[in-house]
Amino acid sequence: MNRLSPAKQAQIAACLVEGNSVRGTGRLVGATLNTVLRNLLWLGDACQKFHHDTVREIRTTRIEADELYSFILAKDKNLPPELQGSRDFGDMYTWVAIDPDTRLIISWHVGKREYGDAQIFAMDLASRIAGRVQITTDQLTHYRSAIFDAFGTDADYATLRKSTGIPTITPDGKIERPENLKVHRRASVFGEPDKELISTSSIESNNLLMRMSSRRYIRFTNGFSRRIRNKRAALALYFVYYNFCRISPPIRVTPAMEAGLSDRIWEIEDIVGLLRN
């Protein structure tokens, strides 16, 4: 099967990682919908293999993890009867782990918000970490057993929950939100986590960036994924771009450079070059 030129593939990749839809990308580069999707799958497969092989033996002192909601084809409540209960359609979560010091995305997984998915995610994360690490998540109960099963005694685990209280309605009908943000830290779920390092600020910032940079996560649009394979391919492309191409303002280099995985800033053409490896 003939492929587009590397320059055209680079144009497609650049559009997709900056929040353009598949159809919008096709209009911008002069390609059909099927051509864009086909190249997305090729690039996604190459990026997934590259991330799997490269992001290993990461030495870090702390990790933040969270799950980002989206859906495939339709939300659970709107799925047709024959697709109810399917693992490939409906409500879907992207589990992501980030090193807040280097901003490196270490591990990610697309699946349901169930213990089995938490376990897959934690096992993959553990396989990429060298040494003991402190992990902070929200208070989803699946994390505790999954992280303990994956890391054993090689992790210190704590949880964090933020709340702003209950909004009130004034006599003139305006909604008044509480001013003070309350942060609830559970200093030790297991291990001996440093209370000063308990935070989810970096992963929450990353969640916002993902929603801004990927059409599939923007709320109230028709840019959602119709197939789980397309979603995984788009995420694999985005995470390699994020780790190796995008300069993180707080550290002024790419996360991969800060983590010692690369000695230069990648160009989008470097990602297309993965197809030839």
pLDDT band at 180 (very low <50, low <70, confident <90, very high): low
Residue type, position 174, single letter: K
Extract the tokens encoding 266: 């990648």
Name the residue with higher pLDDT: 17 or 217.
17
Tell me the three-class secondary structure of 78-99, residue by residue.
HCCHHHCCCCCCEEEEEEEEEE
Mean pLDDT computed over 158-177: 70
pLDDT interval class at 112 (50, 70, 90): very high
- On the CB side of 85, how many CA atoms lie within 13 Å of its CA? 2
Residue 76 in this model has a pLDDT that exceeds 80: yes
Alpha helices per DSSP H over 2-114: 6-16, 22-29, 33-54
Whole-number average pLDDT of the chain: 90
**174: which 2 tokens?**
């305006």
Angle formed by the axes of helices 33-54 and 22-29, nearest 10°? 110
- Sign for the CA dihedral angle at 203, 143, 83, 232 comes to positive
Q: Give 166's pLDDT tier (boundaries 50, 70, 90).
A: low
CA distance 37 to 65: 29
SS3 125: helix
Span of 135-139, 169-173, 183-187 with lowest mean pLDDT: 183-187
Q: Is there a contact between 36 and 9 (Cβ–Cβ < 8 Å)?
A: no
Number of continuous H segments (helices) and E segments (strands) in the chain: 9, 8
pLDDT score of 177: 63
Q: Where are the domains of the chain?
A: 6-276
Residues 34-47: what's their mean pLDDT? 95
- Show the tokens assigned to 30: 């002069």
Cα–Cα dist 131/59, whole Å: 7
Please report which confidence band the pLDDT of residue 214 belongs to, taking 50, 70 and 90 as the band edges.
Answer: confident
Rounded to two decimals, the pTM is: 0.88
